[in-house]
Structure 1
C-alpha cells in the first residue's frame, strides 16, 4: 500500500529524547517498510531516521511552540496540499487536530488518538466526520470514550531489534521515567522507595511551565541522598538506567491511555511495578513481567519482591505483543478496509482476559 504517515511538527522521528508518539511512529513506519509497504512520512525539520521517504513541511522543528494551534494547522494544510489519490491509498494521521481537517482530503484517513479522549478532546472526537477512521491504542482508552466512533484498537509497539537486554535481574536503583506531573506520581515513587529502603532515580521531562512548577514545589522539597534527579535525559541515558534498574515504577494517578515507557522497560528485561490505572493491566502480566498494585500502600512490598521475576519473560512479552512488526501487521487490515471504502464504527470488543488482543479492522 501507498501510505502517507503524518506526525506532529514538534519533534524528530525518532526523537533523541522525550517523544513517545514520535517513537511509536518511527517503529510503525519501519515495521510497515519491512512488510513491503510504501510509506511517505510527513513531518518538520530536516531529518528523519526512519526508512520512509521523508517530506518536511518546515525546515525547523516547532517544539518551542508546542501547544500552539497555528504550527500544527499550517503543517497539516501543507500536507493536505500534497495528498492525491494518484500518490496515496490511505493517510495515517497522528496529530491532534488532523481528524478535523481530514474530510478535506481526497484520500481516506485513519487517525490514531494518542491522548486521553475525555474533556475537550472527547468533545472534538465525538463530532469527527464519519469518513475519518479513529483508532484507539488500548481497550482502556476506548472505555473512557464509548461515544467516540472507534473503528479499531491497535496497541503501540517498539523496535526490538538491537535493543540491549539483561539476562539477570537488575541490582541498580528503582527508576521512575516520565513527565514531572502529578498524574505520573513522582512523589508516590519517592515515598514507596523510601519505605522499601531502596534508592530511586527520577528521570523526568521538565520543559513546560507546569512541569517545572511541580518539580520545584512538590518534588525538590522531598529529595534526599536516596533520590537521584535527572532532567530531560536522552534516550541512551534512559536505556542505560533501565538496563541497570531493579525495576521501573509507574505510580500513575490517571487513566493512562497506553504507557510506552512500560514497554520500553520490559523490552530491556526490566519488570514494572505499577498502580492499576488505564492500560496498565493490558501491558503487564502480573507475576511474570511486573506487579500491579491497587493502592499506593502496596508499592513498597512489590518493589522488594519484583526481583523474583525473570527478565526473559519481560522480553518475550514485548516481542510477542508489542513489537514494531506486530503493530504494523495489526494496522494493515485497518488501512485496507478503510482504503477500499468500508465505513462506520466497529463495536467495541472487550478482551476475554488481560492479554493484549490483535487489532480488528472494520468489516
Structure 2
C-alpha cells in the first residue's frame, strides 16, 4: 500500500532552515510516533511519502518531501499517488479538498478539526472529543530503537515538556518524598516554572535540558522508574488537560523501566501491567518508598510493552483502518 504520511511542520531551534525530523533530533512526540509507525508499515511492505519533516534521514521505501506549505503538500501528494493519506496534523498541514481517502490520528486534547475517519490514542481522548465508536489505536514502540536495561541506576526520570500540566512539580515532590534524585529532561519554554522548580527542589532535581539520540534512550533505560504525573489543569491550549496517548509510557516500558502515573486521561488505560497509578493526595515518604518497592520487574515490563504496543502490531491495526477507508467506509 502507498501511504502519504502528513505531520505538522515545526522549526527546529533558531535556524530557520531546519525542521524537526522523523525521528526527531530531540523533543518531538508526533515525530516519534510517526517514525515508529513507519517502521511497522515498511516491514509490512508499504511505500511511504513523508510530508512535514524536511531533512529527515533517508531510508529505503520512504520518500521525504521538502514541501511544508499546503499547496506544495497537495502537489507532492498528487505526484506520489497514494492509496491513503494519513494525517497527523489535525488538518493544519492537510490540503483542503483532498479527494483521496484520508485517515486522521488525533494527537491533541479536545475535538479534532476533522471528525470523519478519525483514530484516537485512548478511550479517554475519544470520549472527550465527542466520539464513541471511532477506532482507538495505541501509540507504537519499536524495541530495536531502545536500550533494555535490567539493572537500574538510582534516579527517577521525568521526560517531556517542563510544564504544569505534565506534572513536573508533582514528580519532584514524589522524588523528594522517596529520597531519590529526579532527572528532568525536556524543553522548558515556561522559564518561571522551571526556575521555581529548581529553587524549591534544589537537592532533588537535576535538569539536563532537551536530550536526543542514544543519550535519551540510555537515560530512559537506566532510570528506576519514569514519572508521568499528568495533571488536569494548566494545559497549553486552556481548559482541562486530558493526557491523550503518552508516548513516554511505551518508551519507558520497552526499555524495562516501570512507570508511575496519575489517573489522568489515557494513563489508567495503559499503565497497569507496566507500572502503577499513584493514589490521589499527598505522598508521604513511606508511601513513596512502598510504591517504588512494588513496581514490576524490568523484563516483565518490556514483554508487556512489546506485546501491547509493538510496531508490527500497531501497523497491522492501522493497515486494517486504511483498508476500511480505501474501500469507501466512513466513520465518526
User: What is the root-mean-square deviation in Å for CA atoms of aligned residues?
Assistant: 2.3
For the residue of structure 2 that corresponds to 1:252, the secondary structure is coil
Query: What is the alpha-carbon distance in structure 2 between the residues aligned to residue 253 and residue 213 of structure 1?
Result: 18
2:2 equivalent to 1:2 = yes
Partner in structure 2 of residue 106 of structure 1: 99
For the residue of structure 2 that corresponds to 1:262, the secondary structure is helix
Query: What is the alpha-carbon distance in structure 2 between the residues aligned to residue 95 and residue 257 of structure 1?
Result: 15
**Corresponding residue to 1:47 among 22, 46, 56:** 56
Partner in structure 1 of residue 301 of structure 2: 314
- Unaligned runs of 5+ residues in structure 1 are 59-73, 346-363
Partners of 1:4 and 1:88 within 8 A in 2: yes
For the residue of structure 2 that corresponds to 1:214, the secondary structure is helix
Q: For the structure 1 residues 204 and 262, does the alpha-carbon distance in structure 2 shift closer, same or farther, using more than 3 Å as the test?
A: same
Partner in structure 1 of residue 142 of structure 2: 159
Query: What is the alpha-carbon distance in structure 2 between the residues aligned to residue 160 and residue 319 of structure 1?
Result: 7
Partner in structure 2 of residue 15 of structure 1: 24
Query: What is the alpha-carbon distance in structure 2 between the residues aligned to residue 322 and residue 143 of structure 1?
Result: 21
For the residue of structure 2 that corresponds to 1:224, the secondary structure is coil
Displacement after TM superposition at 1:101 (Å)? 4.1
Partner in structure 1 of residue 227 of structure 2: 249
* Higher mean C-alpha deviation, range 271-280 or range 236-245: 236-245
Q: Deviations over 1:175-206 (max 9, x none)?
A: 11121110011111111211222211111212
How many residues are aligned here? Answer: 312
Displacement after TM superposition at 1:291 (Å)? 1.2
Query: What is the alpha-carbon distance in structure 1 between the residues aligned to residue 79 and residue 206 of structure 2?
Result: 53
Q: For the structure 1 residues 221 and 25, does the alpha-carbon distance in structure 2 shift closer, same or farther, using more than 3 Å as the test?
A: same
Partner in structure 2 of residue 226 of structure 1: 204
Partners of 2:58 and 2:64 within 8 A in 1: no
TM-score under structure 2 length normalisation: 0.86
Structure 1 segment 159-178 matched on structure 2, within 5 A: 159-161=142-144, 163-168=146-151, 170-178=152-160
Partner in structure 1 of residue 40 of structure 2: 31
* Higher mean C-alpha deviation, range 305-314 or range 276-285: 305-314
For the residue of structure 1 that corresponds to 2:153, the secondary structure is coil
Displacement after TM superposition at 1:45 (Å)? 2.3
Displacement after TM superposition at 1:32 (Å)? 0.5
TM-score under structure 1 length normalisation: 0.79
